[in-house]
Amino acid sequence: MSTLKIGIVGYSGQKFDITTANQLLSTGIAQAIAHGPEGATVEIVSGLTNLGIPALAYQLAADIGWTTVGVACAKAEQYDCYPVDRRVIVGNEWGDESATFLGECDVIVRVGGGKQSLDEVAAYIANGGVAYQYDLAALPV
């Protein structure tokens, strides 16, 4: 059986409407699954932290029983991390892990996000990857 690795990027530290974010995330994941091979097992790959969009994606994956993978730099370990099934630490600075993260993904879903999320998706698409993107308004802090 094949595995479909869905990369999730989006806001981590920024506040946003959680209900809307969950709806967009579910829509994007459904589109990503439709993009993949029929009957594939699903892995959710994100930035390891238990914050923002990654946390929502990991919780969704856990609720369904999908495998979770966290790809991040060493700085992420200074934050609350989701207890993923597989952890990949690359480099020491934010962004050091980007190439490894992109290499782990068969398709990407972006919900909101800042510069790093946008840069990763642009690089992924430039290299022929498929990404489903959803803008999400940031809320005032």
pTM beyond cutoff 0.85: yes
Q: Tell me, what's the pLDDT at 1?
A: 74
27 exposed, middle or buried (CB, 10 Å; 0-12, 13-18, 19+)? Answer: middle
Q: Tell me, what's the pLDDT at 12?
A: 85
Q: Tell me, what's the pLDDT at 21?
A: 96
- Residue 81: other Cβ atoms inside 10 A: 19
First to last CA, the chain: 45
Mean pLDDT over 79-84 rounds to: 95
Mean pLDDT over 25-36 rounds to: 95
Largest distance between two CA atoms of the chain: 45
97, 73 contact by CB (below 8 A): yes
Indicate the pLDDT class of residue 35, thresholds 50, 70 and 90. confident
Q: Tokens in use for 133?
A: 């993107």
10, 53 contact by CB (below 8 A): yes
Degrees, nearest 5: CA angle 55-39-130: 60
